[in-house]
Chains A and B, each alone.
Chain A
Amino acid sequence: MAHPQYDDHPFAALVPCQQDSPGRVHGSRRSSPVARASRAAAGIMAIVAAAACTPTSSANNSPAGHIMVKAGEKTCEVSATALNSGRHTFTIENTADRVSEVYIYGAGDQVISEAENVKPAATRDLIVDLPAGKYQVACKPGMVGSGIRTALTVSGPSIAAGPADARLQASVASYRSYVETEAQALVDTTAAFTAAVRAGNIDQAKSLYPAARTHYERIEPIAEAFGDLDPLIDMRADDANATTPFVGFHKLEQDLWESKNISGSGPTADALDANVKKLQSQIPTLEITPITMGNGAKELLDEVAKSKVTGEEERYSHIDLVDFEANVDGSRAAYTSLRPVLAQRDPALVSTLDTRFDTLLGLLSTHFSHTGDAGDIPGSPFVSYTALNPAQIKALSDEVINISEPLGQISGELTAK
């Protein structure tokens, strides 16, 4: 589950255009719990194919075969409402004056796919596999309410399920696309954060820190695959010694929140920029397999259990719940990519994971903060870890433990038989 403050939906079939990715202006701070629940209940009919940036914001120049969606303040125009079953690309243009989002709903308002946080005048592509059936496109200016609905009818033969190998390849391709998107967002949001550090603007840097952390934490196991990079980006003060200086995100976090002095932070900021770019550049060389994805999904929750639910990781800023949600987002992205295969092999496991992800994310959403709340941290959608009471922390920990068992089963299911 992405937070709209940062960007798109991380695990549906969505790859944002570059011009719409970094440092965007925020509209509503969050999607509604209802939207989260229904989104999470959706099946994984949407499969990411590829990223595509639409070259223009004008519907008249729509690429061939694309279905144009003009998401206005009071209208939701869809260029074609009778479609053949199969893969379709929806090009969404926000013609309203505020941030919008577009959902594709199936029967019973099952979320098939969605594009969140589309800025005014921006466009976004949504690639979706649609079996025959009745659907609705919903445009939600301001990202609130049930949206302005336009009906879609899809007809034709059912989409043939490919062989398992092909579906696993699609799973890997889908997750790789997610990783690449997050890596780009990491580079961009880190650049915005470090620019504020270099400019000596403490308040601005603090407010940009959570977004950059989010994109790192979503793909943390990927970074850890490059053994030398993870510590340079994400080490803690305790990891430093006489020969290994304290660098990376948490050094800047310490400078900002504890030392409150960033006059000497420039070199650390420069190095951080270089290291996240290096991480991005190495991702094409990384082998991603269904097993590494399954293990990664589990590792992300292990991270939560070890260093987020304990308040260890973000010890100066206390934005641990931001990292918490980002880890869960990343875990769910890997799981969701594998879900079509898992659903065939172990429907009960999929049902359990769907339910427990919903429960965990639903519980997290109860800790959203509003400006002026006790524990509100500018730039963070969540309250400070220090604002949680022990019972709230235990409840979060319980759900992390609950989901870890079924997550641990994924890799075994993928290798069975």
Chain B
Amino acid sequence: MTSDTPIRTAPSPSGVDPAEAPPRLSRRSVVGLLGAGALAGAGITTAAVIAHDQSSPAADGVVPFHGTHQAGITTPVQDRLHFAAFDLSPGATRAELVSLLKAWTAAAVSLSQGTDVGPGGAVNGAAQKPPSDTGEAYGLSAARLTITVGFGTTLFQNAQGRDRFGLAASRPAQLADLPVFPGDALVPGRSGGDLCVQACSDDPQVAVHAVRNLARIARGTAVVRYSQLGFGRTSSTSTKQETARNLMGFKDGTSNIKAEDPAAVDRFVWVQPGDGPDWMTGGSYLVSRRIRMLIETWDSTPLAEQERVIGRAKGTGAPLGATTEFDPLALNLTDAAGAPLIDTDAHVRLAHSTSNNGAQILRRGYNFVDGTDSLGRLDAGLFFLAYQRDPRTQFVTINTRLAGKKNDALNEYIQHVGSGLFACPPGVRPGQYLGHTLLG
């Protein structure tokens, strides 16, 4: 895969080349060793071990944080999500924004390695001080945690048209505000945000821990505007992954861009030199949509109608008229009566690249269930996350085709209630901070 390849690992505090350093310990192995009394025997203090803890890759599921691109985009999709949008505080300055991003980067390095945040971590700080790490991931592995940071449209120019951080001139044309789509029922409190953090992990507690600690670090500079938990990845970004099902019971993301197709990734996901301002080269644009599913209505819909609406067989995921999941869409096949096998308003037909000038997006969404609403209906759906090189020709093109009563048949069962657009800058090397290409 093209992303997440470390340029080099972080230097160890001792200055020893990490490749020659002794094997590192994860939170889990630290706890295990402490339990066995091994550390005391070796004469090493717990604090020293934690400070040096950078974990061995693979064994504890560490996805390298450093790289050409940010992790968490083409990284094989983890099982769990905690996504948070932040607003900068009313009086926040550019210098404070830079400090925040530096602090987030440092914390993200630790978190990605499965180590505690801050000098004392969860349990080794001064007794009279609040621990620098909140502690709920103490003893857990990194569980493939990735932290991906993005800059919202309002960071460049807020709703009042103010350029608070001197960034308006750096706003890429690709970061144009999304149009209002027919049928949108966007809730302001679940939309937008100056910054976003996407934390993905195979362990929900690890993902929550990451957002919680980053939010804590932000206090005084930025506040959480909204956050969203997700589970049951609804897309695959690797050919090695099974296609998962969304809450409608259908396989979702079958024809997603896969990391194993570097040409497609470069063409559709990573911002290329010359696309716009240099600071975004190697980055990607994220569109988030909180898509509420009208679950109760859907559940009482006949199977044939469900399959007609989606355009795929519910069991196999095969396009209607085909036999296996990865068969191409038979968009031109008709039945004996001349009706298309994949209906003219079926979701797969309208969403497919052939209907959208070849546009594709890298989907990375998650299911969500936030309990029930005031009427006792499941507050559930898809937290849609899509990465792309240019939202104007990708997400906007596709969703223009889909949105509205006259388009996607699925619209009878879904409603877009939240929306975000973020510029996720390129990855960083050790010593650099996320966003340095924009703010440095």
List residues 395-417 of chain A with CB under 8 A from any CB of chain B. Answer: 398, 401-406, 408-409, 411-412, 414-416
Inter-chain contacts of A356 with B (CB < 8 A)? 220
Determine whether the beta carbon of B91 is less than 8 Å from that of A409: no
Determine whether the beta carbon of B129 is less than 8 Å from that of A406: no
Q: Is B95 an interface residue (CB 8 A)?
A: no
Determine whether the beta carbon of B128 is less than 8 Å from that of A412: yes
Q: Bin chain B's interface residue count.
A: 10 to 19
A412 and B220 contact, Cβ closer than 8 Å, known pairs A398-B89, A402-B89: no
Q: Is A75 an interface residue (CB 8 A)?
A: no
Minimum CB–CB distance from A5 to chain B (whole Å) comes to 27
Inter-chain contacts of A408 with B (CB < 8 A)? 129-130
Q: Is A291 an interface residue (CB 8 A)?
A: yes
Q: Mark A346-362, 1 if CB is under 8 A from B, else 0.
A: 00000010001001000
Determine whether the beta carbon of B216 is less than 8 Å from that of A411: no
A415 and B128 contact, Cβ closer than 8 Å, known pairs A398-B89, A405-B216: yes
Q: Is B405 an interface residue (CB 8 A)?
A: no
Q: Which residue of A352, A359, A412 contacts B129 across the interface (Cβ within 8 Å)?
A: A412
Q: Which residue of B127, B128, B130, B223 contacts A401 across the interface (Cβ within 8 Å)?
A: B223
Q: Mark B111-129, 1 if CB is under 8 A from A, else 0.
A: 0000000000000001111
Q: Is B219 an interface residue (CB 8 A)?
A: yes
Determine whether the beta carbon of A411 is less than 8 Å from that of B89: no
A414 and B219 contact, Cβ closer than 8 Å, known pairs A359-B91, A398-B89, A402-B89: no
Q: Which residue of B89, B128, B216 contacts A414 across the interface (Cβ within 8 Å)?
A: B128
A411 and B128 contact, Cβ closer than 8 Å, known pairs A359-B91, A398-B89, A402-B89: yes
Inter-chain contacts of B129 with A (CB < 8 A)? 408-409, 411-412
Inter-chain contacts of B127 with A (CB < 8 A)? 415
Q: Which residue of A359, A398, A406 contacts B223 across the interface (Cβ within 8 Å)?
A: A398
Determine whether the beta carbon of A291 is less than 8 Å from that of B220: no
Determine whether the beta carbon of A412 is less than 8 Å from that of B126: yes
Q: Which residue of A405, A411, A415, A416 contacts B220 across the interface (Cβ within 8 Å)?
A: A405
When C-beta atoms are compared, the residue in chain B nearest to A356 turns out to be: B220
Q: Which residue of B89, B91, B220 contacts A406 across the interface (Cβ within 8 Å)?
A: B220
Minimum CB–CB distance from A366 to chain B (whole Å) comes to 11
Determine whether the beta carbon of B128 is less than 8 Å from that of A291: yes
Inter-chain contacts of A409 with B (CB < 8 A)? 129-130
CA distance A229 to B216 in the complex (A): 35
Determine whether the beta carbon of B219 is less than 8 Å from that of A401: yes
Minimum CB–CB distance from A76 to chain B (whole Å) comes to 34
List residues 175-233 of chain A with CB under 8 A from any CB of chain B. Answer: none
Determine whether the beta carbon of A402 is less than 8 Å from that of B219: yes
Minimum CB–CB distance from A411 to chain B (whole Å) comes to 5
CA distance A356 to B91 in the complex (A): 11
Minimum CB–CB distance from A241 to chain B (whole Å) comes to 30
CA distance A416 to B120 in the complex (A): 14
List residues 169-225 of chain B with CB under 8 A from any CB of chain A. Answer: 216, 219-220, 223
Inter-chain contacts of B220 with A (CB < 8 A)? 352, 356, 402-403, 405-406
When C-beta atoms are compared, the residue in chain B nearest to A404 turns out to be: B219
Inter-chain contacts of A411 with B (CB < 8 A)? 128-129
Q: Mark B125-140, 1 if CB is under 8 A from A, else 0.
A: 0111110000000000
Inter-chain contacts of B128 with A (CB < 8 A)? 291, 411-412, 414-415
When C-beta atoms are compared, the residue in chain A nearest to B91 turns out to be: A359
Determine whether the beta carbon of B126 is less than 8 Å from that of A416: yes
Q: Mark B286-310, 1 if CB is under 8 A from A, else 0.
A: 0000000000000000000000000
When C-beta atoms are compared, the residue in chain A nearest to B221 turns out to be: A402
When C-beta atoms are compared, the residue in chain A nearest to B126 turns out to be: A412
Inter-chain contacts of A416 with B (CB < 8 A)? 126
Inter-chain contacts of B91 with A (CB < 8 A)? 359
When C-beta atoms are compared, the residue in chain B nearest to A291 turns out to be: B128
CA distance A401 to B128 in the complex (A): 19
Inter-chain contacts of A403 with B (CB < 8 A)? 220
Minimum CB–CB distance from B121 to chain A (whole Å) comes to 15
Inter-chain contacts of B223 with A (CB < 8 A)? 398, 401-402
CA distance A352 to B99 in the complex (A): 14
CA distance A359 to B223 in the complex (A): 14
Inter-chain contacts of B89 with A (CB < 8 A)? 398, 402
CA distance A231 to B220 in the complex (A): 34
CA distance A414 to B127 in the complex (A): 12
**Which of B127, B128, B129, B219 lies at the interface centre, i.e. has the most chain A CB atoms within 10 A of its CB?**
B128
CA distance A328 to B91 in the complex (A): 20
CA distance A412 to B118 in the complex (A): 15
List residues 359-386 of chain A with CB under 8 A from any CB of chain B. Answer: 359
Minimum CB–CB distance from B90 to chain A (whole Å) comes to 8
CA distance A359 to B130 in the complex (A): 23
When C-beta atoms are compared, the residue in chain B nearest to A412 turns out to be: B129
Minimum CB–CB distance from A386 to chain B (whole Å) comes to 20
CA distance A115 to B219 in the complex (A): 34
Q: Which residue of A352, A398, A412, A414 contacts B130 across the interface (Cβ within 8 Å)?
A: A412
Minimum CB–CB distance from A413 to chain B (whole Å) comes to 8
CA distance A402 to B222 in the complex (A): 9
CA distance A291 to B126 in the complex (A): 14
CA distance A122 to B126 in the complex (A): 49
Minimum CB–CB distance from B80 to chain A (whole Å) comes to 25
CA distance A144 to B128 in the complex (A): 43
When C-beta atoms are compared, the residue in chain B nearest to A399 turns out to be: B89
Inter-chain contacts of A406 with B (CB < 8 A)? 220
A415 and B219 contact, Cβ closer than 8 Å, known pairs A359-B91, A398-B89, A402-B89: no
When C-beta atoms are compared, the residue in chain B nearest to A390 turns out to be: B189
Q: Mark B64-105, 1 if CB is under 8 A from A, else 0.
A: 000000000000000000000000010100000000000000
Considering the complex of A and B, which 6 residue pairs feature the smallest CB-CB distances, nearest first?
A412-B129, A398-B223, A415-B128, A408-B130, A412-B128, A402-B220
| Interface residues, chain A, with chain B CB atoms under 8 Å away | 291, 352, 356, 359, 398, 401-406, 408-409, 411-412, 414-416
A-B contact pairs, 28 of them (CB 8 A): A291-B128, A356-B220, A359-B91, A398-B89, A401-B219, A401-B223, A402-B89, A402-B220, A402-B223, A404-B219, A405-B130, A405-B216, A405-B219, A405-B220, A406-B220, A408-B129, A408-B130, A409-B129, A411-B128, A411-B129, A412-B126, A412-B128, A412-B129, A414-B128, A415-B126, A415-B127, A415-B128, A416-B126
| Interface residues, chain B, with chain A CB atoms under 8 Å away | 89, 91, 126-130, 216, 219-220, 223
- 5 further A-B contacts with Cβ under 8 Å, apart from A401-B219, A402-B89, A412-B130, are A291-B128, A402-B223, A403-B220, A404-B219, A414-B128
